[in-house]
Amino acid sequence: MKVPALFVPVCLVFFAFGPACSRDDQTPGPSSSPKVVQTIKPLPEPKKAPEEEVKERLEDPGQEEKPSAGTMDAGVKEPSLAEKAQAPAEEKPEAPAKADQAEAGVYVVKKGDTLAGLAARQEIMQDPLKWLILLRLNRDKLGDQPIGADFAARELLPGMKLRFITPREAKDGVEKPLGNMWVVNVMSASEVGEVVPPAVILTREGYPAYLTRAYVKGKAYLRLRVGFFPNKNEAVEQGEKIKKLLGFEAFWATKVDDVEYKEIAGFFKTP
């Protein structure tokens, strides 16, 4: 059987395009790719203008500005424990000495001080009558003062340095005498002003003079005495000299008890 000439080209066309026509007519779309979820970062808070910061601080004065961790103590490194242990200890400056601090046993006179007032102080002699012993210890400074009934109450020159020893220091080392001790009782008086001038004269002349209290029939007296002597004869001998020096008519020698001796004798060890 003869195939028509037109049939052959038609068949060729069919074989060339036929497989393509037999596929799905729908054109496949692009392959789906996995979805990427992107985190949306919040936008930074806009920086406040300086005027707004000042306004907030004025409205809330209790706010404290705290340094951030990055700026706090910038460039400063905390030393380790080993470094602290090896570091030399800081030397503390010595406290400055007080300007009016004097050496032991020396008092610097201040405005208003008197001999009787200083002798009465607890840190000095604890007895106003011991002003005479204070005078004896400082004859080089007070020996040229005018003699008068107000000598012990007279104001001293500020800045003057006066030596003193306390009653406790005077009693240290004072031993009880083996026998009786004697003194010259120069005079007794009921008024302080009566005994002051002769007491100053005797002290300036180097006699170990002192004042003591006495009570006779309920009345108080001050006694001016010079001591101490191991026997009555020596006391009488010195009494005669004292009587002539002062122009007195009489004196008497007497024994002293242990209490009076221990209270006074130690002061005469230091000229």
Rounded Cα gap, residues 130 and 112, in angstroms: 18
In a domain, 174, yes or no: yes
Contacts of 115-122 spanning 24+ positions with Cβ under 8 A: 115/142, 115/151, 115/152, 115/153, 115/154, 115/156, 116/152, 116/153, 117/153, 118/156, 118/162, 118/164
Using the structure block, give the residue that is written with the tokens 């840190």.
Answer: 123
In a domain, 153, yes or no: yes
251 and 182 Cβ atoms separated by less than 8 Å:
no
In a domain, 237, yes or no: yes
Question: In the chain, which residues have pLDDT < 50?
Answer: 1-3, 6-40, 54-55, 58, 61-76, 93-102
Q: Count other Cβ atoms within 10 Å, centred on residue 82.
A: 8
In a domain, 124, yes or no: yes
CATH value at residue 206:
3.30.70.1070
Closest CA to 189 of 220, 222, 215, 226: 222
Using the structure block, give the residue that is written with the tokens 């030596």.
Answer: 163
Q: Count other Cβ atoms within 10 Å, centred on residue 245.
A: 14
Beta strands in the chain (DSSP E): 106-108, 161-163, 181-189, 209-216, 219-229, 252-256
Which residues, in sequence order, are bridge partners of residue 234?
A: none
State the number of CA atoms in the 13 A half-sphere of 128 facing the CB.
10
In a domain, 182, yes or no: yes
Phi first, then psi: give them for residue 229, nearest 5 degrees. -125, 145
Collapsing DSSP to helix, strand or coil, 247 comes out as coil
In a domain, 198, yes or no: yes
Q: What is the pLDDT of residue 70?
A: 44
Strand duo 181-189 + 219-229: pairing: antiparallel
Q: What is the pTM of this model?
A: 0.62
210: domain range? 106-269
Rounded Cα gap, residues 224 and 185, in angstroms: 6
Structure confidence by residue, pLDDT tens digits, 95-121 = 443 434 446 789 999 999 999 999 999
Q: How many domains does the chain fold into?
A: 1
In a domain, 226, yes or no: yes
Sequence-distant (≥ 6) Cβ neighbours of residue 252 within 8 angstroms: 184, 185, 239
Closest CA to 152 of 194, 195, 117, 116: 116
Sequence-distant (≥ 6) Cβ neighbours of residue 269 within 8 angstroms: 170, 173
The reply to whether omega before 14 is within 30° of 0 (cis) is no
Sequence-distant (≥ 6) Cβ neighbours of residue 189 within 8 angstroms: 195, 221, 222, 224
141 and 160 Cβ atoms separated by less than 8 Å:
yes
Collapsing DSSP to helix, strand or coil, 77 comes out as coil
Q: What is the pLDDT of residue 78?
A: 59
In a domain, 95, yes or no: no
